[in-house]
C-alpha cells in the first residue's frame, strides 16, 4: 500500500466519479437532442456532431441554448409514461370499471378471487 498513497486513491476515485458523471451528462444531452421536436434532422445532426466532436463546448452551448426546453421535454416524457396523470390518481375509466366489476361480482359472474384480481388490475398503481 506504500506504492499508492491514500490521497492518490482518493483522487483516482474522484476522477473516476467525474468521468462517469460526464458520460451520464453526454448521454442525457444526446437523448434530449433526439427527443427535441423543434429541431429538424439537419439541426439534430449538427448538434450531435458538435456534442461528440467538441464535447465540453457542445454540451455547454446546448445547455445554454436549449436548457429551458430540456426540462419541459423531460417532464412531458415522464408524464406521458403515466398517461398524463400523476401516479396513483384514479380516473373515470377506473371508477366505471370498478362499478362494472362490482356488479358482476354481485350477480355471481365473478368469484371472489377473480373479483380481487380484476379489481387489482383496474386500480392505478
DSSP code for 38: T
* Predicted confidence (pLDDT) at residue 111 exceeds the cutoff of 80: yes
The arithmetic mean of pLDDT across residues 80-105, rounded, is 69
Reduced DSSP (H G I as helix, E B as strand, rest coil) percent helix, strand, coil of the chain, to 5? 80, 0, 20
How far is the CA of 86 from the CAs of 50, 81, 96, 119, 120, in angstroms?
36, 10, 19, 20, 18
Distance CA 125, CA 90 (A): 9
Mean pLDDT of 26-31: 94
Mean pLDDT of the chain: 84
Q: Which tens digit of pLDDT belongs to each residue from 55-89?
A: 999 999 999 999 888 888 888 887 776 665 555 55
| pLDDT mean over 80-106 | 70
Residue 1 vs residue 71, higher pLDDT: 71
CA 86 – CA 65 distance, rounded (Å): 29
Amino acid at each position: 500500500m506504500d506504492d499508492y498513497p491514500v490521497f492518490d486513491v482518493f483522487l483516482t476515485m474522484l476522477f473516476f466519479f467525474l468521468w462517469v458523471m460526464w458520460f451520464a451528462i453526454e448521454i442525457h444531452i444526446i437523448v434530449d437532442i433526439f427527443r427535441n421536436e423543434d429541431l429538424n434532422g439537419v439541426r439534430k445532426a449538427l448538434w450531435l456532431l458538435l456534442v461528440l466532436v467538441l464535447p465540453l463546448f457542445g454540451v455547454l452551448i446546448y445547455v445554454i441554448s436549449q436548457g429551458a426546453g430540456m426540462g419541459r421535454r423531460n417532464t412531458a416524457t415522464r408524464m406521458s409514461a403515466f398517461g398524463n396523470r400523476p401516479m396513483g390518481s384514479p380516473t373515470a375509466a377506473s371508477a366505471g370499471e370498478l362499478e362494472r366489476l362490482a356488479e358482476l361480482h354481485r350477480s355471481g359472474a365473478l368469484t371472489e378471487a377473480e373479483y380481487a384480481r380484476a379489481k387489482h388490475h383496474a386500480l392505478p398503481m
